[in-house]
């Protein structure tokens, strides 16, 4: 059964850390500029500045099978079908080894030696009752988001739950996937706008 929801559609740039299968540094890592006067400084921001950058275009898989992605404050693991599997809540903040220790504690085993920390940048489309992006977390609870090739719902803790593959390369296709996979007909709020910003 389809239902209508009056939501804000926000399109934004995700920027976070992940452990990827890459033994060698990237050939031409993107150089990030950091303006201390206009952005909030945190431990994870400092790590992001120093890591090599992987850019994921719309419609591409965000994490391969066995790779780990931090969507603050939650860890996810890439599945074979390109979706994300929830691992647990991130409990530590700090330098690279602290994040690795936190992930290994959740997994109860050491990470594979082929996994190395990188920064990932990707475009995310989210649907929410809120007109602005949340602070300190990636997603509002009880809403929807397109991350990589898949559409997700979020539960009361903002954890992603896969609804299915949605090969969308633009906002219209994401909205069509929301109706097909979640049974939600998107009704734009009068104040709806696309917001494109860096969020960690």
pLDDT of the residue at 181:
95
How sure is the predictor about 24, in pLDDT bands with cuts at 50, 70 and 90?
very low
In whole angstroms, what separates CA 144 from the centre of its chain? 12
pLDDT digits (tens, 9 = 90+) for 126-159: 988 887 878 778 898 999 999 999 999 999 999 9
| C-alpha–C-alpha distance, residues 170 and 35, integer Å | 30
Whether the pLDDT of residue 35 is over 60: the answer is no
Query: What one-character DSSP code corresponds to residue 50?
Result: H
> Of residues 51 and 165, which shows the higher confidence score?
165
Q: Which of 10, 75, 12, 16 is nearest to 200 (CA)?
A: 16
Say whether pLDDT at 200 is over 50: no
Q: Decide: helix, strand or coil at residue 137.
A: coil
Q: How far is CA 79 from the centre of its chain?
A: 15
Sign of CA dihedral 152, 194, 49, 42: negative
Structure tokens at 74: 């939650």
Q: Which residue intervals of 63-141 are DSSP H helices?
A: 96-107
Q: What is the pLDDT of residue 93?
A: 62
Average pLDDT on 98-119 reads 88
For residue 116, count other CB atoms closer than 10 A to its CB.
18
Q: Please, are residues 129 and 7 in contact by the beta-carbon 8 Å criterion?
A: yes
| Dist CA 73 CA 99 (whole Å) | 12
CA torsion 148→91→93→87, rounded to 10°? -20
Asked if the model's pLDDT at residue 117 lies above 80, the reply is yes
What is the rounded average pLDDT of the residues 14-31?
Answer: 62
Angle at 177 between CA 137 and CA 197, to 5 degrees: 35
Per-residue pLDDT, 160:
97
d(CA 48, CA 78): 20
Question: Cis before residue 73, ω within 30 degrees of 0?
Answer: yes
Give me the residues paired with residue 144 across strands.
127, 153
Q: What local confidence, expressed as pLDDT, does residue 158 receive?
A: 92
């Amino acid at each position: 059964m389809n239902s209508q929801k009056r939501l804000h559609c926000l399109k934004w740039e995700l920027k976070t850390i992940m452990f990827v299968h890459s033994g060698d540094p990237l050939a031409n890592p993107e150089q990030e500029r950091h303006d201390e006067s206009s952005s909030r400084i945190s431990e994870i921001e400092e790590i992001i500045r120093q890591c090599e950058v992987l850019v994921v275009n719309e419609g591409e898989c965000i994490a391969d099978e066995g790779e780990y992605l931090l969507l603050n404050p939650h860890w996810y693991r890439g599945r074979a079908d390109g979706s994300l599997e929830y691992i647990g809540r991130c409990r530590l903040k700090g330098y690279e080894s602290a994040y690795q220790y936190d992930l290994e504690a959740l997994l109860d085993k050491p990470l594979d030696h082929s996994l190395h920390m990188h920064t990932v940048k990707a475009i995310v489309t989210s649907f929410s009752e809120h007109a602005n992006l949340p602070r300190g977390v990636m997603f509002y609870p009880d809403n929807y988001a397109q991350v990589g090739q898949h559409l997700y719902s979020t539960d009361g803790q903002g954890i992603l739950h896969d609804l299915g593959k949605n090969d969308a390369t633009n906002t219209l296709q994401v909205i069509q996937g929301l109706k097909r996979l979640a049974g939600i007909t998107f009704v734009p709020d009068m104040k709806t706008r696309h917001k494109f910003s860096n969020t960690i």
